[in-house]
Amino acid sequence: MKKTMYISTLGLLILTYLTPGHAQINVNNYSACEDANSSPHLQHSVCKTMSVSLSHQANSTPNEDKIKLFIRQFPSAKKAKGAVVLITGGPGESGSSTYSQLVTMRRSFPNFDIFIPDHRGTGFSTRICEAEEAMDSAGGAHLVGAEWASCFSQMNSNAGRTTQFSITNAAHDLAHIIQDIQQDQPKRPIYLYGVSYGTQLVLRLFQFSQPAIKGIILDSLVPLQTAKKWELTQRSKIVNDIGQTVLKQCDENQQCSGMMGAPSSQILVEVLQRIQRQPDLLAKIPDKNLKQFLGRLLDFPNLRDRIPHLIKDLHSGKDDELEKILVGIDTAYAALGKFPQLAPSIPLVATINGSENNLRPNLTEAELATEEDALQFTDAIPRLMLNSTLPQYAKDEYYGKEPKKFPSVLVFMGDMDPKTHYQGAIEHIDVLRKNENVNLITVKQAPHYISMFAPNCFSQLTSAFIKGKLTSDAICKMY
C-alpha cells in the first residue's frame, strides 16, 4: 500500500462532511477517505491508520518493529448514541467484506458510529507479504504467478515476523482500537460485532482484557477450538451434512421425488458415477469439481434451493440450470462491492489456520481423498490445510480456552450453516454460559453470515438486545 493513501487535507474533510443533512463529525484524527466517492458503500466514511507493535508480547523489545492498522469509520448522521466495531471473518478477510452490510448495520445500531478495522495482515493494514500483496502489485491483493513463490519464500526466511500475525496479537490490536475509540467519547456505549473468525478473535480479546464494552454480538459462532469433530480439516463432512439436509428436505416435501422419480441423493450418486466415466461432463463446472461446486452453493440460500434442479438437469445431460446458477454466483459476489482490498489474504489464512485451527496436521492427501470419496458435497478448505511448509507459531496460553468474564452476548446461528456448524456452536455456547449471560437466536434455514442473509431478523433482534429487551433465546425465520 502506498503510504500516501487515505491521507487528505482538512479542506477536503470539510467539503465532504460538513454538507447540509450531515452532522459535524468529531473525527478524532480521522480524515476523509480518498476512496469515499468510489463506491456508494463508502460515502461519508473517514479513515485512520494506527501504528501498533508487531508483537504485543510482554518480553518484546522497545525497538521492535511497528505495523499499521487501517480503520474506516462511518459516522452517525446524527449525534452518536454509541459506537459499534465490526470484526470481520476469515482469517484473511479485510473490513471491506462488511461494507455492503452498512444498511443492515445502520438499522441494527441506529445513530451509532460504525468502525470497521482491517485485521493485521489484511486490507490496507500491514500485510505479511507487503510487496506481493500490495494494491499496486501484479495481482493487487491477490497473489498471482511468481508472487506465490516469492511471498512464501520471504515468509520462511523471515519466520520471526510471519509468526507475529497471530490471533492473540490481532486481539491486542483490537484492544488498542477500542481504547482509541473510548478516548474520543469516554462515556458512550461500545458494542462489538464479530462474524465467523471474528467471533474467535473477540473471545480471545476477553481472555486477557476487560475493555469497557456494553455488549457483544456473535454472528455464526465458531466451534470450540479443541473440538475435533468441527475443526477445519473436517469441513467437507460438515458441508456434506448440510447438503444432505437440503436433499432430504426436498424429498420430504415431495418436490424432488416428483421431479426426479427417485430420491435426490440417489440421482446425485448416478450423476457422480457418470462423471467418473465421462470427465468431459465437468467442462462447465468451476474447477471441474462437482462436489465442491455443490458445497459452494450451500452458502447462498437462493442458489442452495436450486441444487435439486441442477442435479436433475445434469442427470438428463442438460446445462440450462447450471448456466443460471453461474450467473447467480456472479450476482451474489457482485453484491459485496468491488474493492481492491476485498481479496482474502492467503498468507494470513495459512499462518493462523496452520498454527491454531488444524487439529489433524498429519492428515495425508490419500486419507482426505478416501474421506471425500464417501461424500456428495465437499469444501476446498481441508485440501488447503495439507502439507503446509509455511512458518507456524507456537500455541500460547490462550489456545483452546474461553474467557472467564465478558459482557452480555447475543449469538446468531443459522441451522443450515455449512461453515460453522449449528451443533458446534451449541457446544461452544454451553461452555460460555458457565461464566456469563449468553442468548442464542436460531435462524431457521439460514446459512453462514446472518446479518447478510437474514438482515431483518438480525436488525430486529440486535436492536432489541441493545435496548435491553432481549433476555432469552429465540427462534427467527430467514424468510
Give residue-wise pLDDT tens across range 132-185: 999 999 988 999 999 999 999 999 999 999 999 999 999 999 999 999 999 877
In the β-sheet with 474-477, what is the strand arrangement from edge to edge? 31-32, 46-53, 66-74, 112-117, 82-87, 190-195, 215-219, 408-414, 438-444, 474-477
pLDDT tens, position by position, 12-28:
222 222 222 333 334 45
* Rama region for 89: left / alpha / beta (φ>0; ψ in -120 to 50; rest): beta
Q: Please give the average per-residue pLDDT across 102-115, as a whole number.
A: 94
Q: What is the pLDDT of residue 18?
A: 28
Angle (deg, nearest 10), helices 235-252 and 264-277: 130
What pTM was computed for the model?
A: 0.90
Q: Is the confidence at residue 51, as pLDDT, over 70?
A: yes
* Rama region for 245: left / alpha / beta (φ>0; ψ in -120 to 50; rest): alpha
Q: Please give the average per-residue pLDDT across 104-130, as a whole number.
A: 95
410 forms bridges with which residues in the sheet?
217, 439
Q: Is the confidence at residue 98, as pLDDT, over 70?
A: yes
pLDDT tens, position by position, 396-424:
999 999 999 999 999 999 999 999 999 99
pLDDT tens, position by position, 332-351:
888 888 888 888 999 999 99
Query: Of 104-108, 113-117, 257-261, 267-271, which range is least confident?
Result: 257-261
Q: Is the confidence at residue 90, as pLDDT, over 90?
A: no
pLDDT tens, position by position, 177-221:
999 999 877 788 999 999 999 999 999 999 999 999 999 999 999
Q: What is the pLDDT of residue 3?
A: 31
**How much is the mean pLDDT over the chain?**
88
Q: Please give the average per-residue pLDDT across 116-135, as a whole number.
A: 95
**Cβ within 8 Å of residue 267, ≥6 positions away:** 260, 311, 312, 315
